[in-house]
């Protein structure tokens, strides 16, 4: 039934945009379909600056309720760092200077993927290594000090996707510790409960898990913004199959890497190996993006919560002009449909920033920031 609803929604969205001519502009009005980014094999950079870790200063209702205004507009993912087993394993360690640059470019938010499961005990009470909290504190504080809103999520908890029943108590314990640890932090800090659920985490199980986790977080963080995702690797289709719990301070998210054959061409980790040389930019290509994102915007009204494009991007080895063209169109479409977005990622496998040369990749100034 979920797939039927998804495709009927896309058909309706397609009819709505059929009268428009796509020359880089799009109608206002969003949601999309995604695949896992699978970010591995990253670039080297210098060690991060140290910082104190004390809390920094602040810089179910009917689903027909109007969505609250999302605090997120322009965001970038700090991929390839804390999402690894150990920060630095994939060649990148987050630096204070990264946040300074990101804020100066005009971003308001950074998403910080964290592999908490690699640093939590396997047996009850599933205690998280204090050294990880110290590092996440440092990074989150540096972001806030730079004028950014940090999102911290639970990333790459692979075991829960294969054995939800066996690992749900551990995830609940992880979030209990996270929510208690950050209870007194400013509202700038945002939580995201679980990145890209898939496999055995069905829509029904995700709904149950989201409700339980949100209820637990609200015990210590009653007003903090919390991001909820759907299944099928965080795709639009996976999100639209769920029934997220309504909360006036919640956001629903999806990831968009369509067409996968374009965005992940040449990527050695991709589930589907596609050679470099694929192109994007026809009228049909653009109409597909608009149809997907328009479906997301309409679903936003249905659930009464803002929708967030939490990941999109193109593999760094793809032609610069093609990368920039795709990124700009997705970004502009998302903005004109009233959805905040978060590019994947800052400086690694789909990076917008060249860490070796300390400069944006060609075309990305226009792709991400041009009016």
Domain boundaries, the chain: 2-369
Give 227's Cβ-side CA count (13 Å radius).
29
**Torsional class of 338: left (φ above 0), alpha (ψ -120 to 50), beta (otherwise):** left
Q: Name residues of the chain where pLDDT drops below 70.
A: 1-67
Determine the pLDDT at residue 244.
96
Determine the pLDDT at residue 271.
84
Determine the pLDDT at residue 340.
97
Provide CATH code, domain 2-369. Answer: 3.20.20.80
Determine the pLDDT at residue 55.
60
Instruction: Give the distance, in angstroms, between the CA of residue 365 and the centroid of all CA atoms in the same chain.
Output: 21
User: How many helices (H) does the chain have, and how many strands (E)?
Assistant: 11, 10
SS3 label, residue 274? coil
Determine the pLDDT at residue 8.
45
pTM: 0.85
Q: In this structure, what are the phi and psi dihedrals at residue 69, rounded to the nearest 5 degrees?
A: -75, 120
Strand residues in 115-242 grouped as ranges (E)? 149-154, 190-192, 226-229
Check: CB of residue 40 under 8 Å from CB of residue 304.
no
Determine the pLDDT at residue 5.
44
Determine the pLDDT at residue 272.
86
Determine the pLDDT at residue 265.
97
SS3 label, residue 273? coil
Check: CB of residue 345 under 8 Å from CB of residue 43.
no
């Amino acid at each position: 039934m979920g797939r039927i609803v998804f495709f009927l929604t896309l058909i309706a969205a397609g009819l709505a945009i059929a009268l428009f001519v796509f020359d880089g502009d799009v109608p206002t009005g969003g949601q999309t379909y995604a695949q896992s980014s699978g970010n591995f094999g990253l670039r080297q950079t210098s060690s991060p600056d140290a910082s104190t870790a004390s809390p920094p200063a602040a810089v179910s209702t009917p689903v027909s309720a109007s969505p609250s205004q999302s605090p997120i507009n322009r965001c970038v993912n700090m991929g390839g760092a804390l999402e690894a087993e150990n920060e630095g394993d994939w060649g990148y360690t987050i630096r204070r200077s990264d946040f300074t640059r990101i804020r100066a470019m005009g971003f308001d938010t950074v998403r910080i993927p964290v592999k908490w499961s690699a640093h939590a005990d396997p047996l009850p009470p599933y205690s998280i290594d204090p050294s990880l909290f110290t590092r996440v504190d440092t990074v989150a504080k540096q972001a806030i000090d730079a004028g950014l809103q940090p999102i911290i999520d639970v990333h790459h908890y692979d075991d829960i996707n294969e054995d939800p029943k066996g690992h749900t108590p551990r995830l609940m314990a992880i979030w209990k510790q996270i929510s208690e640890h950050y209870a007194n932090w400013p509202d700038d800090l945002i939580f995201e409960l679980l990145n890209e659920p898939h496999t055995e985490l069905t829509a029904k199980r995700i709904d149950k898990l989201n409700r339980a986790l949100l209820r637990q977080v609200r015990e210590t963080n009653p007003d903090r913004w919390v991001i909820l995702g759907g299944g099928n690797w965080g795709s639009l289709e996976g999100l639209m199959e769920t029934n997220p719990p309504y909360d006036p301070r919640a956001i629903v998210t999806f990831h968009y890497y369509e067409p996968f054959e374009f965005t992940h061409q040449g990527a050695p980790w991709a589930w589907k190996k596609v050679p470099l040389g694929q192109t994007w930019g026809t009228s049909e290509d653009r109409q597909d993006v608009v149809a997907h994102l328009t479906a997301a915007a309409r679903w936003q009204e249905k659930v009464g919560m803002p929708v967030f494009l939490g990941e999109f991007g193109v593999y760094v080895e793809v032609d610069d002009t093609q990368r920039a063209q795709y990124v700009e169109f997705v970004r502009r479409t998302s903005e004109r449909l009233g959805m905040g977005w978060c590019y994947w990622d800052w400086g690694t496998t789909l990076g917008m920033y060249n860490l070796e040369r300390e400069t944006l990749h060609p075309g990305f100034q226009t792709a991400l920031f041009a009016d």
